[in-house]
Chains A and B, each alone.
Chain A
Amino acid sequence: MPTFSLVHLEFLLVAAQWTIGLSIAAFVGGGLVGFVVALARISDLRLLRIAAMIYIQLVQGTPLLILLFVIYFGISLLGFNNLPALFAACAGLIVYSSGFLAEIWRGCIESVPKTQWQAAECLALTPWQRMVKVILPQAARIATAPTVGFLVQIVKNTSLASVVGFVELAQAGKLINNSIYEPFTVFMIVALIYFAICFPLSTWSRRLERKLNVGRR
């Protein structure tokens, strides 16, 4: 019976690159969608606000696993049968991260002091100028730490992409374990690789938090 060898490790490291790629795609895509949803959530139009709220509640109230399944099977219902698993995995993670990022960023935008909004209005800035030149730069400062923190969640949750058959780090671990059955070794190494990706991010997030001292302002 074969045991864990360098070949397996190499396979895991290649899969880890997919995990990182998937995370980046989910973050960029989720960030774009999430930003629009966050703006819709605080829009002056009631309908937009409600629609954004429903979207956020839907995403935050269902497990990512179910979200992935619905998207995976939904895509094939729409007639795209030959799309690779990567597509469903990306779409699911983008929807997931947009729902959470929207809520995080809404909080950051709203935590910019009311006086700043009023001052911008007094200076006769248009709503667009007010947002881009006054509110967002300040909100971005507050948003960095929780956003980096959420990045850790995204990296960890890419592990669920394995359920739609996408071979990322967790799925690679499962495959290797199926062939050599050394679950403890294999999954410990998988966990270590995840840790190596996530720990620097969470440390960075904590450092940012301390530097900005957002909590005690």
Chain B
Amino acid sequence: MTYHFDFAALLPYWREFARGIWLTVQLSAVSTVLGFVLGTLCAIGRADGSRGVKWLVAIYVEAIRNTPLLVQVFIIYFGIATLGVHVSANMAAVIALVVNVGAYTCEIVRAGIESVHKSQIEAADCLGLSRFQTYWHVVLRPAIERVYPAITSQYVLLMLASSITSQISAEELTAVANRIQSDTFRAFETYIVTGVLYLLLSFVVRVCLWLFGLAVFVRRRKLGTAI
């Protein structure tokens, strides 16, 4: 083997890498927040909606969970374009990621909602809480607290999955890496560096979500026990 590794060849490109990381962070952050809202709403719809809503949510969840993200990205990016609406690659990437992670979040949160005991909801009814209050104070908080670890890993996976949007040339980290490797012909080094950057990113995401959990779930922080 006569190959000489040359990681220094990548140094001039640090700005590009930084820009790629920044877009990956933005993509993941936006789709995490929107995906969580969408997923939670769907979970409520599935648990408590009318028959039609339940069906719609079920179809949405099954359709998304049983097809690859890559194909979803293609359908959204090219499909929307054929409808005559032009969206940028970044926009299409966000839409695809939100739609995708919303379905997974729905399943996770639904499991959490189902684990809330019926007597809790009856108690809330007795106290005269409105339906919104019941969901907000009695159902969702403990439900989400309980499934928070699963949600955390789902959003780490989401950050990693955002690499797939490089296939429609959203200029995030993987797309940047693809360009740099074709500039430098240092493919192996480029992807090793990119892999390490993703590792660091997934660590950062994990820590952020953990801190967020500490800040939000006061009960757990004070008592230190699982709900």
Contacts and interface: CB of A to CB of B under 8 A. Distances in A.
Nearest to B2: A79
A199 B71 contact: no
Interface in B162-209: 163-164, 166-167, 174, 177, 187-188, 191-192, 194-195, 198-199, 202-203
A177 B72 CA distance: 15
A60 B201 CA distance: 12
Contact of B3 (A61, A77, A190, A191): A77
Given A69-B187, A159-B71, A194-B71, 18 more contacts: A60-B202, A61-B203, A63-B161, A63-B198, A65-B166, A70-B191, A73-B187, A77-B188, A78-B1, A152-B65, A156-B69, A177-B78, A184-B75, A187-B71, A187-B74, A195-B63, A199-B62, A202-B65
A65 B164 contact: yes
B70 A199 contact: no
Interface string A181-194: 01110011011001
A19 B67 CA distance: 13
B82 interface: yes
Contacts of B1: 77-79
A143 interface: no
Contacts of A159: 68, 70-71
B79 interface: yes
Contacts of A157: 68
Contacts of B75: 183-184, 187-188, 191
B29 interface: no
Contact of B202 (A61, A74, A198): A61
Interface of B: 1, 3, 62-63, 65-72, 74-75, 78-79, 81-82, 160-161, 163-164, 166-167, 174, 177, 187-188, 191-192, 194-195, 198-199, 202-203
Contacts of A174: 74
A10 to B, nearest CB: 19
Contacts, number: 111
B174 A202 contact: no
Given A183-B79, A184-B78, A62 B71 contact: no
B65 A183 contact: no
Contact of A170 (B70, B166, B199, B202): B70
Nearest to B76: A187
Given A70-B192, A187-B74, A198-B67, A63 B81 contact: no
A188 B75 CA distance: 7
A162 interface: yes
Interface in A27-67: 57-58, 60-67
Nearest to B187: A73
Nearest to A78: B1
User: Residue among B67, B187, B195 with the most chain A CB within 10 A?
Assistant: B67
A63 B163 contact: yes
